[in-house]
């Protein structure tokens, strides 16, 4: 029997180490830094908080059980709070010298095409779980303590009252998981709103950022070229829309969260709806640490200074401005040089 027990223990250790634990563990800050810097370039977020989170977080490729499709087989990434590890699909990482690291946004775009914003939001979501676990729940700063108080003293009771099935699960504690997922999915929506805005801004300005081309004709811009100096005409315009006038603080929302494959519809309770002030509490915490553009106008200003498409857009605007001005000048010249038919008749 002792020999049998020894073999059983050895087998269980093998299963845990080689099947349950993630493969290829990497530590920490430098693994995330290039991604963080590219997020700053693209969206204007201060990423110091992200780097602080990454210093106490491990990153890995999926465990063998995930690779075999036995657990979490549909998740693009997962956070394991027990070992404080984020598992990422191999497509999210790249070999850099002798080490692996997260791909930058530019590398994700090159590797994943138009779907790359989804990968960005997934990474930001999972980093949110790590941030919630290691900083917010620990009350690391006054801002963390404030948000944690809202989550525990206001949102937790609301979840228990409106979703009784969550509190019936003690291990794992699904209410606690729901709070972390709420924070994670809120971060997902943040990324989605900014990329949505980026598309709107460039389309409004006559530029398709996916195929890197300017519109051949743009009547509104052509009309504006007559009344603007070239240096002003080369700048990005703020979209004239109702959505563009709403600050991101009021646009980022979460309607559903997913917990271990099950959906929790936050819109379901009609008599006791999820409060807008709770969304604002999460945004205010995010805004304090990440200092993002607060509205579309601020985002336009960031893109004007940092987006790589601006050089091409300026060239297109210059060509359009010259074309419109030359066309008007030519028309005026023809009108002046044409003989008066009235004079000939007399």
Per-residue pLDDT of the chain (346 residues; tens, 9 = 90+): 555 545 554 454 444 444 445 555 555 668 999 999 999 999 999 999 999 999 999 999 887 565 555 555 556 789 999 889 999 999 999 999 888 899 999 999 999 998 999 999 999 999 999 999 999 999 999 999 999 999 999 999 999 999 999 987 766 799 999 999 999 999 999 999 999 999 999 999 999 998 899 998 899 999 999 999 999 999 999 999 999 999 999 999 999 999 987 899 999 999 999 999 999 999 999 999 999 999 999 999 999 999 999 999 999 999 999 999 999 888 776 655 555 544 434 3
Which residues are CB-contacts of 131 (< 8 A; sequence separation ≥ 6)? 49, 50, 53, 183
Do 103 and 202 sit in the same domain of this protein? no
* Residues 78 and 142 occupy one common structural domain: no
Question: 24: domain range?
Answer: 18-114
How much is the pTM?
A: 0.86
Q: Where does a domain end: 79, 114, 149?
A: 114
In a domain, 148, yes or no: yes
Contact 275, 162 (CB under 8 A): no
Buried b (16+ CB within 10 A) or exposed e, 148-171: bebbeeebbebbeebbeebeeeee
Residues making up the chain, counted from first to last: 346
Boundary of a domain, candidates 49, 83, 114: 114
């Amino acid at each position: 029997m002792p020999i049998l027990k020894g073999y059983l223990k050895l087998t269980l250790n093998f299963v845990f180490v080689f099947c349950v634990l993630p493969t290829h563990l990497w530590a920490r800050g430098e693994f995330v830094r290039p991604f963080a810097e590219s997020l700053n370039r693209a969206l204007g977020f201060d990423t110091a908080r992200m780097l602080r989170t990454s210093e106490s977080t491990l990153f890995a490729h999926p465990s063998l059980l995930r690779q075999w499709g036995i657990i979490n087989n549909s998740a693009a990434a997962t956070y394991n709070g027990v070992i404080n590890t984020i598992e990422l699909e191999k497509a999210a990482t790249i070999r850099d010298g002798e080490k692996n690291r997260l791909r930058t946004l530019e590398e994700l775009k090159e590797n994943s095409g138009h779907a790359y914003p989804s990968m960005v939001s997934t990474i930001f979501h999972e980093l949110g779980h790590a941030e919630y676990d290691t900083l917010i729940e620990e009350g690391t700063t006054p801002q963390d303590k404030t948000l944690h108080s809202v989550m525990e003293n206001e949102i937790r009771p609301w979840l228990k009252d409106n979703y009784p099935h969550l509190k019936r699960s003690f291990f794992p504690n699904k209410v606690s998981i729901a709070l972390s997922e709420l924070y994670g999915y809120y971060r997902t929506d943040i990324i989605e709103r900014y990329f949505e805005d980026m598309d709107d801004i460039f389309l409004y300005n006559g530029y398709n950022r996916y195929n890197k081309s300017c519109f051949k004709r743009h009547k509104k811009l052509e009309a504006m070229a007559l009344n603007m100096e070239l240096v002003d005409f080369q700048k990005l315009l703020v979209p004239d829309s109702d959505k563009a006038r709403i600050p991101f603080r009021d646009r980022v929302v979460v309607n559903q969260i997913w917990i271990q494959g099950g959906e929790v519809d936050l819109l379901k309770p009609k008599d006791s709806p999820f409060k807008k002030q709770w969304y604002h509490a999460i945004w205010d915490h995010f805004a304090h640490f990440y200092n993002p553009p607060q509205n579309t106008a601020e985002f336009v200003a960031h893109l004007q200074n940092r987006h790589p498409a601006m050089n091409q857009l300026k060239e297109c605007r210059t060509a359009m401005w010259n074309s419109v001005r030359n066309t008007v000048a030519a028309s005026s010249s023809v009108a002046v040089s044409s003989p008066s038919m009235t004079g000939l008749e007399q």
